[in-house]
Structures are given as C-alpha cells and as structure tokens.
Structure 1
Amino acid sequence: MLHMGGDQIDEAVAHTAAVLRAAADRDWSAKAGGVDWSCLKTSEHIAGVLAAYACQLTGRATDGWVPFDTFLDEGTGPEGAIHAIEAAAGLLSAVVRTTPRGVRAYHSYPSGGADASGFAAMGVTELLLHTYDIAHALGVDAEPPASLAEAVLSHLFPHVPPTPAGGTPWTTLLWATGRGDLPDRARVTQWRWHNPYALPAGELSLRELTPAAAADLAEGGTGGLTWLGGAPFGGTRAASGATFNKYVAGVHRPGWGVYALVRTADEVAVGGMGFHGPPDDEGCVEVGYDLVEPARGNGYATVALRALSAWALTHPEVTSLLALTTPENVASQKVATGAGYVRLPDRAPHRAYGLHRT
C-alpha cells in the first residue's frame, strides 16, 4: 500500500469499534495488556492521541505538541469511550484528507516531524495496537485486516524483517512492538516506529521512500509521487529496487536508502538520491543520484548532495562518503565537486570522488 490516508483510518476505526463493542459488557477496569492502564484509560488514550495528531496537522505545529489534552467525561463507560474513539478518528481522517501534500508537523521520532500520511499511519497503528491491548485483557479477538498491518509495517517499521514463512503481517507487527513472539526471533523489549525523513535542501526536500514506494518505483510505478516529465530516471528505479531487496532480506536500515528530490514549491519530484547501504566497517557510505532530464542544469543535484552528505556526517559512525561515476559522465562529476567532494584514485572502470569528515 503506497499511501496511508483517511480510508485506512476509517477502516481501522471500524475494526476497533466492532472489536470493542463485542466486549462492551465486560469489566473495563481490568488492566489492558502491554500497558499500565485500565482498558477504559487505554480507550481514553486512543481517542486523545488521535485528536492530538489531527491538531498537530491543523495547527501546523513545528517545534512541539499543541498544548492541550483530551479526557473522557467522568462516569463515561465503554460505549461512550468507543464513541469518543470514533469521533476522534473521524476528525483525524478528515484532517488527513484535507492537509496539502508536503505539509509537515511536529512529532518527536525520529526527526521531529511527519506529513499527513505519517500521521495517518501512526493513527492506524495506535488503533490496531491498543485495540489489541484492550481485547487481549477482555478475552476477545482483535486481528485486523492483513492489508492494514502490512501497510503499517512498510510505513513505520521498515527496519523490521518481513513476515517469516507461516506468519502473518499481524503476528509480525505484534512481535515488532513487544506484544508477541516469532520463531527464531528474540523477544522485543524496546521499540520505536520510524517516520520517513524529510531533509531540506534549498528549493528541494529529500523525502525518504518507504519500502512500499521503493517497490512501486522499481516495478515501473510512480512511488506515489508526481514526477517532472511523468517518470523518474532509470537510476532511481534501479536504486529503489536495491533498497526494496534489502528490506525483503531484512538488512535495510532506515535513512540509508533512497530519497526522492521534491520541489517544495509545487510538490513535483525531479530526481532520486541516496545511499547504496549503511556505512561499511570503515565508516564509508556510497552515494548515488540522478535527475529527470527536464530538471537538469538548475543546480538541484548539487544542493541536494550537500544536504544529504551533511546529514550523513551527523552520524558518528560515518567518516567519509564516496561517489562513483563513469568517465564520460561529466555532469555527475561536476555535481560531486560542487558538493565538496574531491577526486580520488580511480576505481576502474569508475572515477571516484570522496568527502571526508574534517
């Protein structure tokens, strides 16, 4: 699933309401599974966090949480709590649908922000997991549609190895969040989700691709983006395929894959840039880049490479960056030198350029 939006929130809350109403006559003062709250308090948390996500987007919060909280009225019972969840989910769904592409709002992890699709994915995750916490305590089944669990894994858990043979996306999500076990995998005791990075670069934003978007690009799709000229250049498709293959193999590290270069003025993608993988044992990470032909000659790649390289060098394990070009690709060589890379000894059949930590 390329995009997380209002439809997925609506599907998730319908699942939540059906599960919780099946247990509305049970004791909601019981402790919910996996958290330190009662079932009723957990339902209050679900409604509150969905409303908070909506207000982050409508308030265009950039440096912190909008300063308010949401509580159930005193004396509210299970049916009232379910109604509150439905109302808050409807609010988030409407906000996600009407938030312009490219708008980001504050969320602490991992990079201080998320777009509407990210908040939709987080909202769906809150609904699925905390519904499970309540249902597990009250003795009812809570397995959601497989497509929702699979979409959550792709959008927020790209660091989690794919579902093993005999498993389901739901059992993998439960394992990834410390709520279940999988054969041959150690129990998870600490976890976080990962919202895709968005790195500013002058007129551009470097948008990290999810595994689902990378797979779509590799297969000839758009990756959910609008491309100048209608489609990305071949190098972006090849790099996307390599990133998705690493995800399937369980060795993908978020942040060290492919980014789309998006013009912030019109939200049009003009190229791709990224890493061939995480830093090697010597702290070197290889970069690659290309632009669609109509976007060339505007300095986009140079500015983007500076930004991506600066981001990489914020990581202590990175000591240097490497760019390889064919001898005849003078344009790519100019991009590298313009971004501060210096010529290194050739790595036949390529010319090599490097940037070292000062």
Structure 2
Amino acid sequence: MRDMGGERVEEAVASSVALLRTATDRAWEGVRAGGLEWSCRRTVEHLAEALLKYASQLAGRAAEHRVPLVFALADGTDDEGVLDVLRTTGSLLIAALRTTPREVRAFHPFPFLSANREGFAAMGVAEVLLHTHDIAEGLGLPYEPPAGLAEYVLTGIFPHVRPGPDLWRTLLWATGRGELPGRARLTEWHWSNNLVLATDRLTLEGVTPAAAADLRAGGDGGFEWLDGGPYEGTREASEWMMKAYEGGIHRPEFGLFVLVRRSDGRAVGGLGFHSAPDEEGRAEIGYDLVPGARGNGYVTEALRALSQWALARADVRSLFATVERGNTPSQAVLSRVGFRQVSEDLDDEGLLAYELRD
C-alpha cells in the first residue's frame, strides 16, 4: 500500500484552485459559503490556514499541543492572492507529508489526541473538498471532486460511517451537508483518527478501513513487515473488519491493531477484537505473530496493554479468547496476561476458552 497522501492533497488543492479561479471576478466577501456562517472569502482563508497548521504540526513534530501559529494575510490581498496562498499552504502540507516518517504522530484533538501523516493528509483533503463545496454552493458553481478523493477521506478518517454507493454524497452526508436515503440528516459530526497504544517495545497502531482493505487484498496495509508478513490471521481479521465497516457496525477502537516494533519500525503481528463488546460487556480478542518475531514476548506485551485499555472502559466487563488445545505457546501467553481457562472443546472443535475480567 503506497503512501499517496501528498498526491491526494495535491490533486484536491489543484482542483479547488482551478475551479475558484473561474470566479475571482465575483464579490467573495459579501457572499455566504453554502450553509456556513462565513463568507466565501473567509472560507478560503480558513482553508489555507488549516493546511498550514496541519503542515506545521507534522513538520514541528508537535506531540502535546497545537503549534501556536498565527495566520494572517497581507493588507490588500485580493481574491487571486488568496488562491495563491491556498496553493502555497497546500504545497507546504505536501512537503511535510513527504518528509515525515511513517511512525511520526503529532497532536490533533479528536478523538485520541494524535494523528499520523495519513491522518493529516486525509484531514487536509477533507478540508479542501468540503470547503470548496461550500464556496462553490455560495457562488453557484458546479463542483464534483476528482474521483477517489471522497473514498480516500472516508476510509481514512470516517471509519465509523457506513459507505454508500455514492461516496461523495456519503461524505457530504457524514459532514452534515446533505441527505442520504434511509439515514437521518446529521446536525453533529466528527472524523476519527486511528487509536495508537504504546508499550515498552511496541506501538499498537489501529488499522483504518483503507489499510484493512489493502491487507484483505494481499497488500501490506502501509506497514513494513518483518519476514514478508503479515501472517494469515491478520489478513482474516482485516476481512472481518471490512465486513463490519461495509455493514455500518464497525467501531474503530474495537478493530484490528498492527504491532510495530519501536526499535526498527517493523510490523511483527496483529492483535484486535472480533467485534465491539456485546450487551453484557464481553468482547472477543485474538492475535497472531510473524514467525520470525516469535519467542520474544511481543504478544504478551501487546495483549496486556490492549486488555488493560479495554477493561478500563465502562462498556467492557470481560475479554475472552479461544485457542486450540495443542497451541501451548498461545495458552501460555493468555495465562501470563491473567486470562484463566473457563471451558474447553467449544463446539466439538477442540478449542479452549479463556477469560479475563475487570
């Protein structure tokens, strides 16, 4: 899965600037941008500011807070000049995306206080698409974003939104800008960057639908795998996750996580939930590891961290896992983390069931 964040931002900004340049003879300041309170002029300024701030977060590796940056245009800047600024701030974000290592995360408030370069790219594209739509609506211009950009945004930062047959209309609906048959119009909305949990030696990186789709199709999901991984269980988990996403029941924090070694950035396995917790607060958990990484305690370390995170939540009361009777290494992992065996021979398949309670 090749990183295409810079290319996607470049495509979105170029399309936006090309459209808006056809209307610089109009009075942007006095025209409201679609359903926003801002004028079309103010909306372009906001868009340029957003791209600059995303670039600054990544370039500055600002992990704890937003960079205290003040954005202002020179006095007398006309609408053509504002578009030059938009194109320039887009280029700065593209440069930041292309020079930021994959493992870097920078502060973003929603929902887990950080985003990686793919998250910032998707947020940048979302800003461009949605606000160009708002401005075009205010100015009476037809606008349809380049093919693939709406899907890029939805599968990157809207993992909780069931995709519809028309992905651009789905994105407009997901941001309170349109109607979709069978779905109530939204008055509040949010996007969702992936959850990341850190241990001493690993980073547990939440897998987005975009990455899961690539893993399901036989790709690497955007990770550098040890020994040509991932193992087959991770691909199967990606299949389950994509079915939940396509069915509109995926909860991002209860999906799949890839285990990435902090020492070298290599992905060594997968760990995650089969689904969100049920009404009794039970959730099933599973894992696998690339053969070359086994015997180092990575799964124990990751399972302990994810279990502690889950059981600290109000909606999780217990975790369970099943393991084959002959898989003694996996049984040992569960026991070390604190799971206890509660049953065996489930459905006559020779499986043992283990449980961990809060």
Q: Which residue of 1 aligns with 2:204?
A: 206
- 2: CA distance, partners of 1:2 / 1:247: 22
- 1:76 is displaced (CA, Å) by 2.0
- 1:66 is displaced (CA, Å) by 0.6
1:4-43 equivalence runs, <5 A: 4-29=4-29, 30-43=31-44
Q: Which residue of 2 aligns with 1:292?
A: 290
1:249-328 equivalence runs, <5 A: 249-328=247-326
- 1: CA distance, partners of 2:235 / 2:260: 16
TM-score between the two structures when normalised by the length of structure 2? 0.96
- 2: CA distance, partners of 1:335 / 1:65: 40
- 1: CA distance, partners of 2:129 / 2:4: 14
Q: Which residue of 2 aligns with 1:49?
A: 50
SS at structure 2 position matched to 1:190: coil
Q: Which residue of 2 aligns with 1:66?
A: 67
Match of 1:67, as an amino acid?
P
- 1:347 is displaced (CA, Å) by 5.7
SS at structure 2 position matched to 1:187: coil
- 2: CA distance, partners of 1:317 / 1:259: 19
Match of 1:27, as an amino acid?
A
Q: Which residue of 2 aligns with 1:80?
A: 81
Q: Which residue of 2 aligns with 1:109?
A: 110
Q: Which residue of 2 aligns with 1:354?
A: 355
Match of 1:291, as an amino acid?
L
Deviations 1:14-69 (A, max 9, x none): 01101211221122121112322111111111111111111111111111101112
- 1: CA distance, partners of 2:238 / 2:203: 18
SS at structure 1 position matched to 2:260: strand
User: For the Cα contact (< 8 Å) 1:260–1:273, is it kept in 2?
Assistant: yes
Match of 1:191, as an amino acid?
W
Stretches of structure 1 that go unaligned for 5 or more consecutive residues are none
Deviations 1:284-330 (A, max 9, x none): 11100000100000000000001111221232111111111111111
Stretches of structure 2 that go unaligned for 5 or more consecutive residues are none
SS at structure 1 position matched to 2:253: coil
Equivalences, count = 354
- 1:2 is displaced (CA, Å) by 6.3
Deviations 1:84-107 (A, max 9, x none): 110000001001100112011100
Between stretches 77-86 and 22-31, larger displacement belongs to 22-31
TM-score between the two structures when normalised by the length of structure 1? 0.96
User: For the Cα contact (< 8 Å) 2:229–2:268, is it kept in 1?
Assistant: no
- 1:261 is displaced (CA, Å) by 0.5
Q: Which residue of 2 aligns with 1:98?
A: 99
Backbone CA RMSD of aligned residues:
1.3
1:99-248 equivalence runs, <5 A: 99-164=100-165, 168-248=166-246
Match of 1:222, as an amino acid?
D
SS at structure 2 position matched to 1:16: helix
- 1:3 is displaced (CA, Å) by 3.7
SS at structure 2 position matched to 1:146: coil
SS at structure 1 position matched to 2:322: strand
User: For the Cα contact (< 8 Å) 1:4–1:118, is it kept in 2?
Assistant: no
Between stretches 336-345 and 111-120, larger displacement belongs to 336-345
- 1: CA distance, partners of 2:268 / 2:147: 34
Match of 2:294, as an amino acid?
R
Identity of aligned residues (%): 52
- 1: CA distance, partners of 2:91 / 2:3: 18
- 1: CA distance, partners of 2:127 / 2:148: 16
